[in-house]
Structure 1
Amino acid sequence: MGEPLNVGIIGCGAIVAQYLKTLPSLPSVNLRAVADLDFSRAEAVAASQDGVRALTVDELLADPEIDTVLNLTIPAAHADVATRAIAAGKHVYGEKPLAANTSQARKVLALADEAGVRVGCAPDTVLGTGIQTARHAIDSGMIGRPISATATMVTPGHERWHPNPDFYYVPGGGPLLDMGPYYVTALVTLLGPVTSVIGAASHTRKERTIGGGPRAGETIPVSIDTHVTGVLVHESGALSTLVMSFDAVQTRSSNIEIHGEQASLTVPDPNYFDGEVSICTLANREIGWDSIPTSAGYIGAGRGYGLADMALTPAGEQHRASGQLAYHVLDVMESLLRSAVDGSSVPVLSTAERPAAVALTSLSEPVSSLAT
């Protein structure tokens, strides 16, 4: 690593547009080719990017120019595409989750270790100024010893806006595996790894109705729980309460709150890279909340910064949006779902170090500074 990566994207669905906004600004990443099972989608993306070729998936994996695959396929295909890319000797950076389950994810990481290639995984939103400013406040002692956190994501369901929402309502989908990676990754970044969980889950409907697009009005079956709640016990002793729902309408609470002995923090939505961090201290409790100036993270960051960080992190050092972190997050979520079935506390057998903090960095600065 340490040199620009020649990247090929596999999967040209809705999420690719967000990456295409960022990748051209990252000198450590050179987008060379795109592929999709629907070749016309790959052609459309390639036509919008100078010097980018549209290939079949097999052609992209065999292309010697491509050293890294950006895996933007649906969750059920993440492990298969990653495994094939690793077998072709390529690094892999994928959308979340790392795989549909921890069994598949372990195989991906083991094969990558054997092949001597790196695995990275979204979300990299935790590298932005929002989560990183909150982390800086915690690490600098502004809230005292962390005690607890709450993380809440509620929505009435993705079928209201997504034209093909089927995969959200089958095993491997659901609110926890879909949206949970943002929140659990943020909690691990802020409070450290999780050692055990206890959870409960439910669902309110056996089918959903697609709200727009060519399939509007079509009903799809629901075969998983669509409301999941639980408690995460962090290695530090802090307790996080998590609520992930495709059944509720809206919430007025902060997406994430962190509570310490001396102060509480409101943390911005981890689906985004920035946002306001506020603090209420014990000494000024009657006065209320104050905003904390932006003090850490990548200013103006977007999707793909985790990939750039992977490119720039020297050999022997762990890049921030790593496969190991993504595996731990997946393990936490899978354990929580198992607890919801068993009705008892479940130990989380994996662990992961908190990624290195990100100093306040402007997009106008050399991207190489992001790995320092």
Structure 2
Amino acid sequence: MRIGMIGCGVISQQYLASFDQLPDVQLVAVADLDPARAAAAAEGREGVRALSVDELIADPAVDTILNLTIPAAHADVDLRAIAAGKNVYSEKPFAVTTKEGAEVLVAALAAGVLVGSAPDTVLGTGTQTARAAIDEGLIGSPIAATATMVTPGHERWHPQPDFYYTPGGGPLLDMGPYYLHALVTLLGPVASVIGAASRTRDVRTIGSGPRAGESIPVSTDTHVTGVLVHESGVLSTLVMSFDAVATSAHPIEIHGTEGTLAVPDPNRFSGDVTVHRLGGEGWEPVPTAGGYEEAGRGIGLHDMAVRGPELRASGELGQHALEVMNAVLESAHSGARIEIASHVARPEAVALEDVRAAT
């Protein structure tokens, strides 16, 4: 796959660091609304050209667009790329509204192109080892799960945090995709949700960078909770906060009839998986048993290039997670239980593999 990257902001650095180690994909062009940022991203990279957004989308040397724009632009950029006959792979969230995300999938199907969606962290050894443990029956039949992400807010460290506090941001749409993609990978798709949410402050103060001390408005919920009813009957409880200080909870815990599994941070590719068995005396390590070893952001593009329509970090998964998250927010404001219309197959497990061996 020949990749054209649109958006050269903070997250692009992690993708750029991975490209040299990824087989089956080649970065050939970059673009940004700020030409200087695009030029800086291309500098020192042989064969990588800095283009305008329009030039990159039209470039015949590019067959796949890596969309790293802000969330509000994800669907628009994806649709433009699809109209130009390109595959697309979007950063999370897949779109801002469920309707926008559905339009991207419809357009891609009509055009016969592939659609992928971050996060691809679920393809690493952390989530995949937990997946293998569940599939092997280590904790018996899954009953419930908890997913917890607590931080006092990204404005404390991010120099340009504005979009985190607008629709499409907030703790749920910003961090929720990591947890939703992991929960669906581990436990299957979601059938319905119930949510509650709050917003403790209408203004945030930037804590670092050239804008330190500047106040920015908050127009989205900053503490969100939800109960997700999986199609399997498993109940997942979600807590996503930009308001709270800290937590001692594991990022994800899967509770089964024969034990509880602690799953590492789904914002990371690796991490220790531990199990507390029924009748056991404490947490025990689970040996690494699945996933791409030493993976970094962009491994989903490799998976897409190799597997084609069977890619694991798919647009369908991204859209399902988006619908679930927006349904939690809708439920929080309406007080009603919301049924989830989309269905996505539980992605196929990843066997333990060091993708770098193929480079």
TM over 0.5: yes
2-side partners of 1:172 and 1:303: how far apart?
Answer: 21
Please list, as runs of the form range in 1=range in 2, the aligned pairs for 1:121-270 lying within 5 A after superposition: 121-270=117-266
Which of 339, 350, 354 does residue 347 from structure 1 map onto?
339
Q: SS at the partner of 2:357?
A: coil
Q: CA deviation at 1:178?
A: 0.3
Which residue in 2 is equivalent to 1:370?
A: none
1:13 aligned onto 2:9: yes
In the alignment, which of 16, 20, 24 is matched to residue 24 of structure 1? 20
Is 2:285 the partner of 1:291?
yes
CA distance, structure 1, for counterparts of residue 279 and residue 150 of structure 2:
33
Counterpart CA distance in 1 for 2:190 and 2:117 is 19
Q: Residue 363 of structure 1: CA displacement?
A: 3.1
Aligned partners of 1:66, 1:363: CA distance in 2, in Å? 23
- Deviation by residue 1:305-329 (Cα, 9 ceiling, x = unmatched): 1111111114xx4210000011100
Report the aligned-residue RMSD: 0.9
CA separation in 2, counterparts of 1:323 and 1:182? 14
Name the aligned partner's letter for residue 262 of structure 1.
Answer: E
Q: Please give the alpha-carbon distance, in whole angstroms, between the structure 1 residues aligned to 2:142 and 2:120.
A: 23
Q: Which residue of structure 2 aligns with residue 361 of structure 1?
A: 353
Q: Does residue 1:71 correspond to 2:67, yes or no?
A: yes
Identity across matched positions, percent: 65
User: Structure 2: 5+ residue runs without aligned partners?
Assistant: none
Shift of 1:170: 1.1
- How many Å separate the matches in 1 of 2:327 and 2:151? 23
Tell me, yes or no, if structure 1 residue 274 matches structure 2 residue 270. Answer: yes
Offset from partner CA, 1:291-341 (integer Å, 9 cap, x none): 001011111001001111111114xx4210000011100000010000000
- Is this contact kept in 1: 2:93–2:168, CA < 8 A? no
Structure 1: distance between partners of 2:95 and 2:221:
19
CA contact (8 A) 2:253 2:260 kept: yes
Q: Tell me the distance in 1 between the aligned counterparts of 2:246 and 2:232.
A: 31
Aligned length: 359
Residue in structure 2 matching 1:302, options 296, 307, 311: 296
Question: Which segments of 5 or more consecutive residues in structure 1 lack a partner in the other structure?
Answer: 368-372
Query: For residues 199-218 of structure 1, what are the alpha-carbon distances to aligned partners after superposition, in whole Å with 9 as ceiling and x for unaligned?
Result: 10001111000001111101
Mapping for residues 53-72 of structure 1, pairs under 5 Å: 53-72=49-68
Correspondence for 1:311 among 305, 311, 319: 305
Counterpart amino acid of residue 235 in structure 1: E
Deviations 1:251-308 (CA, angstroms, capped at 9, x unpaired)? 1110000000001000000000000000011132xx1110001011111001001111
State how far apart, in whole Å, the 1-side matches of 2:341 and 2:27 are: 37
Superposition TM-score, scaled by structure 1 size: 0.95
Q: Distance in 1 between matches of 2:225 and 2:9?
A: 30
How many Å apart are 1:351 and its aligned residue?
1.1
Return the alpha-carbon distance in structure 2 between the equivalents of residues 198 and 221 of structure 1: 27
The alpha-carbon deviation at position 364 of structure 1 amounts to: 3.7
Q: State the SS of the aligned residue for 1:298.
A: coil
